[in-house]
């Protein structure tokens, strides 16, 4: 059935590829590639609880702007078909989702027209995310036990001054906050000097820990480059030309 669904998409995709006026060298992305990439990501990110095996329910497919633009007219149909591939695979493999399955299409101009990048997350219906902290014990098969960190009324907050001068405030209600240009980031920066996933802020018992994600231009706290550090009240984070003020309590 999975093969039949992908073959159905292939007919649409043949016409779509013809709309690309100047394709880059190399084989272009095809629907079977999207299906395989989604399935690989789903399998690699599975987590084990006491009685179930969970897989991500939120996926972002990143493509080069050329193939992404060509598929926009049939985007809804294509993504619904790909969702069906994931649902069937989960049913056959006795895998569970923690919320509705969502797939979105986004662009990344750092990719070539033949490349696909898939981001995945565990997102509950109320918008909360499962904690995937690195200190949970590993199990065989690449799966891990995971837990949820409850949000509270004392979560920290960030005041972001973007590189263009606009300001925004964000509450640190999630156990892990991603910062960068990419669509998977809860704090998105349009700053050209920011990496797609530039840095993360993780909530621990001792407070909030910021970690640079091997970014191109680095992450700075109070003027000093850091790889990882615990944030103190009123610390100033700099990512490219964007300034972020940290306040431990909302």
CA dihedral 87→85→117→115, nearest 10 degrees, is 180
Q: How confident is the model at residue 249 (pLDDT cuts 50, 70, 90)?
A: confident
pLDDT digits (tens, 9 = 90+) for 196-239: 999 999 887 668 889 998 899 999 999 999 999 989 999 999 99
Burial 195-225 (b: 16+ CB within 10 A, else e): bbbbbbbbbeeeebebebeebebbbbbeeee
H or E stretch including 42? Answer: helix 31-44
pLDDT digits (tens, 9 = 90+) for 57-98: 888 888 888 888 888 878 888 899 999 999 999 999 999 998
Give backbone dihedrals phi and psi of 63, rounded to 5 degrees, phi first: -130, 160
């Amino acid at each position: 059935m999975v093969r039949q669904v992908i073959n159905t998409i292939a007919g649409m995709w043949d016409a779509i590829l013809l709309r690309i006026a100047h394709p880059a060298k190399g084989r272009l992305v095809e629907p079977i590639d999207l299906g395989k990439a989604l399935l690989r990501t789903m399998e690699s990110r599975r987590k084990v609880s006491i009685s179930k095996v969970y897989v991500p329910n939120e996926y972002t497919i990143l493509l080069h702007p050329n193939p992404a633009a060509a598929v926009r007219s049939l985007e809804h149909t294509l993504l619904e078909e790909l969702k069906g591939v994931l649902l069937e695979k989960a049913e056959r493999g006795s895998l569970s989702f923690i919320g509705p399955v969502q797939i979105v299409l986004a662009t990344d101009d750092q990719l070539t027209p033949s490349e696909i990048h898939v981001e995945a997350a565990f997102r509950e219906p109320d918008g909360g995310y499962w904690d995937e902290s690195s200190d949970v014990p590993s199990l065989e098969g690449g799966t891990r036990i995971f837990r949820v960190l409850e949000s509270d009324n004392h979560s920290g907050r960030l005041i972001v001054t973007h590189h263009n001068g606009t300001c925004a405030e964000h509450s640190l209600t999630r156990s892990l906050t991603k910062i960068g240009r990419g669509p998977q980031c809860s704090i998105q920066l349009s700053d050209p000097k920011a990496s797609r996933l530039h840095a993360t802020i993780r909530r621990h018992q001792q407070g909030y820990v910021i970690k640079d994600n091997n970014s191109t231009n680095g992450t700075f706290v109070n003027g000093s480059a850091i790889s990882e550090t615990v944030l103190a009240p009123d610390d100033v984070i700099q990512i490219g030309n964007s300034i972020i003020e940290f306040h431990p309590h909302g």
